[in-house]
């Protein structure tokens, strides 16, 4: 098994694209990249800790290669927005690919270049590719939020503008 860690704005919205796929063995919402040990959501949401909201995926690369994870990741985000994602603004909602080994770094860089050269966007691709650091699991109420609170999740996602952006920029 390997780990893959992606930041794509609100971590609630980053779980569903990856779940229930053969070779995916777990998805955990949490925080990575900041300067505070064992941060809480209350600390993260201030935007002052340097952490990203992220999902960490445990996967079997023989069944679900890392490249497929990257191919699923990019169409979930606006890779040109360095101020957050959709309605969620602030440094904690920036996009990033956290690589866990040299091969992941190479594949992430290649995939970013492909997105940049795709002609989909007129603005530069600002999603960072960063070495993975300590991943802190978010509070339990954030785990599988879309299943625990489906009405609120659907309402929040509908208001976010994420789905409209995906449809306009990725599904064509």
d(CA 95, CA 77): 8
User: Would you call 13 a catalytic residue per the annotation?
Assistant: no
The pLDDT, as a whole number, for residue 171 is 78
DSSP 8-state class, residue 141: G
DSSP 8-state class, residue 32: E
- Per the CB < 8 A criterion, the answer to whether 111 and 65 are in contact is no
> Tokens for 161?
């503008």
The count of residues in the chain is 172
- Spell out the residues 6+ positions from residue 68 whose beta carbon is closer than 8 angstroms to its own: none
Domains in the chain with CATH codes = 2-169 (3.30.1060.10)
Set 7, 10, 13, 44: catalytic member: 10
108 C-beta neighbours (distance < 10 Å), count? 25
In degrees and rounded to multiples of 5, residue 139 shows phi and psi of -55, 150
Q: Which residues pair with 57 in a beta bridge?
A: 4, 27
The pLDDT, as a whole number, for residue 5 is 98
The pLDDT, as a whole number, for residue 6 is 98
Say if residue 172's pLDDT is above 80: no
The pLDDT, as a whole number, for residue 137 is 98
In degrees and rounded to multiples of 5, residue 109 shows phi and psi of -60, -40
Q: What's the mean pLDDT in 143-162?
A: 93
d(CA 61, CA 73): 16
In degrees and rounded to multiples of 5, residue 83 shows phi and psi of -110, 10
d(CA 70, CA 48): 28
pTM for the whole structure: 0.95
Residue-wise pLDDT for 35-79, tens only, equals: 999 999 999 999 999 999 999 999 999 999 999 999 999 999 999
Residue-wise pLDDT for 80-128, tens only, equals: 999 999 999 999 999 999 999 999 999 999 999 999 999 999 999 999 9
């Amino acid at each position: 098994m390997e780990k893959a860690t992606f930041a794509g704005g609100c971590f609630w919205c980053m779980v569903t694209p990856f779940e229930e796929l053969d070779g995916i063995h777990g998805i955990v919402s949490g925080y990575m990249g900041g300067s505070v040990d064992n941060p809480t959501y209350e600390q993260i949401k201030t935007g002052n800790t340097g952490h990203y909201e992220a999902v960490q995926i445990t996967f079997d690369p023989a069944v679900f290669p890392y490249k497929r994870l990257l191919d699923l990741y990019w169409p979930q985000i606006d890779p040109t927005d360095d101020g957050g994602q959709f309605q969620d603004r602030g440094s904690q909602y920036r996009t990033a690919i956290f690589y866990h080994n040299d091969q992941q770094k190479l594949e992430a860089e290649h995939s970013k270049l492909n997105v940049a050269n795709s002609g989909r966007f007129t603005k530069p691709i600002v999603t960072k590719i960063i070495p993975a650091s300590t991943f802190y699991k978010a509070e339990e109420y954030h785990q599988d939020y879309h299943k625990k609170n489906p009405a609120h999740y659907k309402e929040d996602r509908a208001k976010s503008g994420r789905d409209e952006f995906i449809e306009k920029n990725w599904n064509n």
